[in-house]
């Protein structure tokens, strides 16, 4: 495979990440508060839950709903409040109830940190709801794409093919000197062109090959249908979940379309690597570079990848080609 220079050396790197550095820092801060309280109480099993007023319930440090254990669970719960307003709750070893002074002292010392951690947990819960909403939107869009592709293939496309066959049969039954035969011949040719255009349209909406044969087959077909630039595909033959395959395919498809339309590339390499917990998709071209990270196509890719819990990077120095890299989680 042709080797390209490392574009990251230029320093012109745009990094789109679902979890920003601040959000990750907030989550880790909440976890540090939990570990600190666990050490102070000498209870490694301790769990912290944060009250979220909008939900009228508790969440954990990642913003996920947290149910306090029932009284007969073998765990104890100490709830903390600030002027009658719930703030947080400790879920801990029941033996700590025998040391109320220790619990009170640790709770008082940690109260400000707990309030900050609660706000961070509330932010995480809101981000989680946004992510779930975006995932539902992307899933619904993909399902609609598949439905349209099936309707085009099983409906309009099949009717056009049947009509072309009927016209071909009529053409054969007419005499060689009949002028109508020439008209029918031209109609058949036009219908065949329409069928090919419809097939291309259906493939662009959502390629049936992706569902039937998997990501590598769909990418190889995409490469074969691209007249210029030359496209090289290196992808594993194994199957992945439909949402992961669809995300990877549309990242490659959009990046290739940008290279064809805007970059003047002569060569595009599409590489897919199965990492331990994610699929790494890299699309590298030798075109003009200078891709706009705020363009509609790129923003659409960022939204699609982030909706699946992933990250996308764009490296596109002027005159140095473009590299699009997507990290798509394979498991939650």
Q: Which two tokens stand for residue 178?
A: 């009949």
| C-beta atoms surrounding 295 within 10 Å | 13
Which DSSP string do the residues of 98-119 spell out, in sequence order? G-HHHHHHHHHHHHHHHHHHHH
What string of pLDDT tens digits covers the 332 residues of the chain?
333 333 223 332 333 333 334 444 444 466 777 888 888 889 999 998 888 876 788 888 777 888 999 988 999 998 888 777 888 888 999 999 998 888 888 877 776 667 666 666 666 666 666 676 666 666 666 666 666 666 666 666 677 777 777 777 777 777 655 667 677 777 777 777 766 666 655 555 667 788 889 999 999 988 998 888 999 999 999 999 988 998 999 899 889 988 988 888 999 999 999 988 899 999 999 999 988 888 877 888 888 888 888 889 999 988 889 999 999 998 64
Complete domains list, the chain, with CATH: 21-137 (no CATH), 214-332 (3.30.565.10)
pLDDT digits (tens, 9 = 90+) for 113-141: 676 666 666 666 666 666 766 666 666 66
* Alpha helix segments (H runs only) across 71-178: 100-151, 158-173
Sheet with 85-92: strands ordered across? 65-66, 57-59, 47-52, 85-92, 76-82
- Residue 56 Cα to chain centre, angstroms: 30
Query: Looking at the chain, which runs of residues are DSSP E strands?
Result: 13-17, 47-52, 57-59, 65-66, 76-82, 85-92, 230-234, 267-274, 278-285, 311-315, 322-329
Q: Which residues contact 314 (CB under 8 A, 6 or more apart)?
A: 13, 14, 16, 291, 293, 298, 322, 323, 324
Tens-digit pLDDT profile for residues 197-206? 666 555 556 6
- Residue the block writes with tokens 């230029």: 10
The first and second tokens of residue 121, run together, are 């947990």
* Tokens 């009250």, residue located: 51
Helix (H, G, I), strand (E, B) or coil at 89: strand
Whether the CB-CB separation of 71 and 63 falls below 8 Å is answered with no
């Amino acid at each position: 495979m042709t080797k390209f220079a490392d574009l990251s050396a230029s320093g012109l790197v745009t990094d789109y990440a679902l979890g920003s550095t601040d959000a990750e820092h907030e989550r880790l801060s909440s976890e540090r508060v939990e570990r600190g309280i666990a050490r102070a109480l000498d209870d490694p099993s301790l769990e912290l839950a944060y009250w979220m007023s909008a939900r009228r319930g508790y969440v954990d440090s990642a913003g996920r709903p947290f149910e306090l254990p029932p009284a007969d669970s073998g765990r104890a719960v100490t709830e903390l409040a600030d002027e009658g307003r719930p703030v947080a709750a400790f879920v801990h070893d029941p033996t700590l109830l025998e040391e109320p002074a220790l619990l009170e002292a640790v709770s008082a010392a940690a109260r400000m940190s707990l309030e900050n951690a609660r706000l961070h947990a509330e932010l995480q819960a809101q981000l989680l709801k946004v992510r779930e909403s975006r995932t539902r939107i992307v899933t619904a869009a993909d399902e609609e794409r598949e439905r349209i592709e099936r309707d085009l293939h099983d409906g309009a496309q099949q009717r056009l093919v049947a009509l072309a066959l009927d016209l071909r049969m009529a053409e054969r039954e007419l005499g060689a000197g009949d002028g109508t035969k020439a008209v029918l011949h031209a109609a058949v040719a036009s219908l065949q062109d329409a069928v090919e255009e419809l097939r291309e349209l259906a493939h662009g909406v959502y390629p049936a090959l992706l569902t039937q044969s998997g990501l590598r087959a769909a990418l190889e077909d995409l490469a074969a249908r691209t007249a210029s630039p030359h496209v090289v595909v290196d992808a594993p033959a194994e199957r992945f979940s439909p949402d992961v395959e669809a995300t990877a395919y549309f990242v490659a498809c959009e990046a290739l379309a940008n290279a064809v339309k805007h970059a003047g590339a002569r060569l595009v390499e599409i590489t897919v690597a199965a990492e331990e917990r994610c699929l790494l998709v890299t699309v590298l071209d030798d075109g003009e570079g200078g891709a706009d990270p705020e363009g509609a196509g790129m923003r659409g890719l960022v939204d699609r990848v982030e909706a699946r819990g992933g990250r996308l990077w764009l490296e596109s120095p002027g005159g140095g080609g473009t590299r699009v890299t997507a990290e798509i989680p394979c498991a939650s």
